[in-house]
Amino acid sequence: MHGRSIFLVALLLLTPMSQFIDASAASSGRAMACTGDICLSETMPNPNGYDNASWPGGEWVELHNSGTTDISILNWQLSNIASKTLDLNSATIVGYDSQNSSTWTISAGDYMLIARNGTPTSQFYLSNTADALDLFDSTGTRVDQASWNGSNSGSSKIADPANAAYDWIDESNPSPGLANGGGATGLIPSDLVISEVLPDPWPSYDNSTWPGGEWVEVSNTGSSTIDLTGWSITDSAGNELRFNETHLVGANASILMVLRFMVF
């Protein structure tokens, strides 16, 4: 009887200690500082709606190029805490166009979005509870890692500015494709302006080929030719439509952007 009492006392003393150890381990950061120019910058593990919905719904990950050169992320890979992987390719890179290499290349200082998009051939997911997200380059080298202990519905996750090794924190105002916490990028004076938009064509469908479908007219109001390389149009959901590479618009001229191609 005396021995049993000692055992019970010891058990009661050890139980709070074990809970304390577990809680400490759970709250300790597993993230890492990015070791390259392409880094994880924001993620949406718990979207409003279905996790595996197609973009702009569902889970997504934002990458940022903090370097000075353009970098292709084709065939890079994401991996979750359960080692389920997601390849960065035509099925997951938002705005991917097989005829335009800039759609899988992140320009210096720019952002790119990776969407889960249902991906029926992948078992990848972002956990709403504890998770770790690894980014691997095309050689299989890990270049960045994010981690979190939980996520609120509709809030994204961003790195803790206090320490890159801490678990990521909630961001109540997600900004896919933009600097975190920056909101709108604001207006920069330019001779290139959006001059006309057709958001609701009739009788054609929104995604019909030209001359049907949606389009945006862009005009050069200046006296010099403007090189549109690297320029793009982005909607409120973060969908990006890039201009064709090495395209010029002359002074006082206009072009039409129609879905994935342009018409003069």
Which of 136, 171, 206 terminates a domain? The answer is: 171
For the cut 90, the answer to whether the pLDDT of residue 105 exceeds it is yes
pLDDT band at 21; cut points 50, 70, 90 = very low
Q: DSSP state, 32?
A: B
Q: Are residues 44 and 152 in the same domain?
A: yes
Which runs of consecutive H residues, i.e. helices, occur in the chain? Answer: 2-27
- The count of structural domains within the chain is 2
Which of 171, 205, 234 terminates a domain? The answer is: 171
Per-residue pLDDT, averaged over 140-158, amounts to: 92
pLDDT per position as a tens digit, 107-144: 999 999 999 987 766 789 999 998 999 999 999 999 99
Q: How far apart, in Å, do the first and last CA atoms of the chain sit?
A: 93
User: According to the model, what pLDDT value does residue 162 have?
Assistant: 84
Answer whether 108's CB lies under 8 Å from 70's CB: yes
pTM of the model: 0.62
Nearest to 257 by CA among 225, 235, 233, 221: 233
Position of tokens 């690894």?
Answer: 134
Q: Please, is 163 exposed, middle or buried when counting C-beta atoms within 10 Å of its C-beta (0-12, 13-18, 19+)?
A: exposed
Domain span holding position 75: 38-171
Which residues, 6 or more positions from 12, have their beta carbon under 8 angstroms from its beta carbon?
Answer: none
CA distance 109 to 168: 21
pLDDT per position as a tens digit, 206-228: 778 877 888 888 898 888 888 77
Q: Are residues 151 and 98 in the same domain?
A: yes
Q: Are residues 202 and 110 in the same domain?
A: no
Order the strands of the 254-258 sheet from edge to edge: 192-198, 215-220, 254-258, 261-263
Q: Please report, for the domain that includes residue 90, its CATH number.
A: 2.60.40
User: According to the model, what pLDDT value does residue 11 have?
Assistant: 35
